[in-house]
Amino acid sequence: FSRTDFYVDENTFKERLKLFFIKNQRSSLRIRIFNFCLKLLTCVLYIIRVMTDNPAQLRHTCKCNVLHFAVCFCTFFCPQVIVASISFMEAMLLMYLSYKGNIWEQIFQVSFLLEMLNTVPFIITIFWPPLRNLFIPVFLNCWLAKCALESMINDLHRAIQRTHSAMFNQVLILICTLLCLVFTGTCGIQHLERAGKKSLSLFNALYFCIVTFSTVGFGDVTPQIWPSQLLVVVMICVALVVLPLQFEELIYLWMERQKSGGNYSRHRAQTERHVVLCVSTLKIDLLMDFLNEFYAHPHTQDHYVVILCPCEVDVQVRRILQIPLWSQRVIYLQGSALKNQDLLRAKMDDAEACFILSSRNEADRMAADHQTILRAWAVKDFAPNCPLYVQILKPENKFHVKFAGTNLPVFPHYFSEYCSLFLHYVFVFFLLSFSKSFEALG
């Protein structure tokens, strides 16, 4: 028999690097934060270099096209070369670690092409000094910073073991896209206008982009040459294609969030009292029985009831929840008690109590108890300090609920047995009394 070695590949140098740069959550988060800061630094250095640049000096010192060259200062050139070298080595390392057999697929990725466009020319200028005045569109690094920020947010929430909504991601993507479009248009128009009779400053180019994208169009600042005008047309076309798609996705997520009930406010949960009602299916009789019994006590009048149910609210329940008596105190959230994200939406950790109820008309009571037990375990694991009250249909399942730390399990089956025993006791007492009375008469 041959000996089988497990996890051999994880001991290789490549797998160790992959574990540090990609697989490990905390280390990969640090790498992405470093990459994001690096891209922002390149954009800041580009802005400083543009503000200190002088096209008239370039025309006077060398007879060349100002669109292809820019005056270079060693103070800003050296940091740009260092940052570009670090970015190039990081990109090549990540390309090597993520290689899966198709090198061309990785080479022709837009992010990799942008990375090479903004790093390779700086490295070439180290060995060929005459090209140090070559213009390099470093401002395109803003799109790489956008991608790094999105990945960084995902790794951040993975590292702290918290989930975030898709709405947050979509809003973040939309804001970053708008900023990148404005920044790209500003830097591109400012550079192209250098070839005109009157060059634009960076602030005037930013003012023109803001006015153009906001569809105001005052016309006091306009591009004068056709390359910059063509860039404006391209940027408007890109905005007309990209932004409506993202707005559509944002509206769809907003409608789905409103449909599912949204989130219970954290500030509201910490300043006001609320309880959570977890059910598998919400029937109108179950809801009314719970609300009437819960609000019958004078100490619970100022409590809110957050209903957590995986099913959509039906018409009858919606009508009940729209009554002013309940609309101000009852909040419906569509979700499952088995998901931590839905428990976080209901702010279970700040709740005064949690009630897990089952319908009395369940056909399979054992299956209903199994679902109830799973919900009880999930809630107790998420919020150990929250008092838990569970309704069990089968008394033999009380052990599992007690194991979950339930404060008070309720057994409706016992009530019927108690009533039956009471009726039997009354009937026996009646027979004994009747027999003794008959003997006394006889």
pTM: 0.68
> For residue range 371-403, what is the model confidence (pLDDT) as tens digits?
888 888 899 889 888 888 888 887 777 766 665
Whether 432 maps to a domain, the answer reads no
User: Both 123 and 186 in a single domain?
Assistant: no
User: Both 216 and 96 in a single domain?
Assistant: no
Whether 124 maps to a domain, the answer reads yes
Whether 158 maps to a domain, the answer reads no
Q: How many domains does the chain fold into?
A: 3
Question: Domain boundary residue among 206, 235, 260?
Answer: 260
- Answer yes or no: is pLDDT of 6 > 50: no
365: domain CATH number is 3.40.50.720
HSE, side-chain direction, 13 A CA sphere, residue 137: 20
Whether 48 maps to a domain, the answer reads yes
Whether 151 maps to a domain, the answer reads no
User: Both 254 and 369 in a single domain?
Assistant: no
Question: Predicted confidence band at 439 (pLDDT cuts at 50, 70, 90)?
Answer: low
User: Both 136 and 38 in a single domain?
Assistant: yes
Query: Rounded distance, CA 31 to CA 37, Å?
Result: 10
User: Both 279 and 234 in a single domain?
Assistant: no
Question: Predicted confidence band at 418 (pLDDT cuts at 50, 70, 90)?
Answer: very low
Structural domain span for residue 378: 266-410
Question: Predicted confidence band at 53 (pLDDT cuts at 50, 70, 90)?
Answer: confident
Question: Domain boundary residue among 230, 260, 290?
Answer: 260
196: domain CATH number is 1.10.287
Stretch 170-197: mean pLDDT, rounded?
A: 89
User: Both 306 and 405 in a single domain?
Assistant: yes
Q: List C-alpha distances in Å: 8 to 11, 22, 99, 110, 145.
A: 6, 19, 19, 34, 36
> For residue range 108-160, what is the model confidence (pLDDT) as tens digits?
888 889 999 889 988 888 888 777 777 888 999 999 999 988 888 877 766 55
Whether 438 maps to a domain, the answer reads no
DSSP 314: -
Stretch 67-86: mean pLDDT, rounded?
A: 69
The per-residue pLDDT for 178 is: 93
Whether 153 maps to a domain, the answer reads no
Whether 238 maps to a domain, the answer reads yes
> For residue range 198-229, what is the model confidence (pLDDT) as tens digits?
878 888 899 989 888 887 777 778 888 888 88
The per-residue pLDDT for 69 is: 46
Q: What's the residue count for the chain? A: 442
Question: Domain boundary residue among 206, 225, 260?
Answer: 260
User: Both 324 and 234 in a single domain?
Assistant: no
Phi and psi based region of residue 215 (left: phi greater than 0; alpha: psi -120 to 50; beta: remaining): left
- Answer yes or no: is pLDDT of 299 > 90: no
User: Both 243 and 270 in a single domain?
Assistant: no
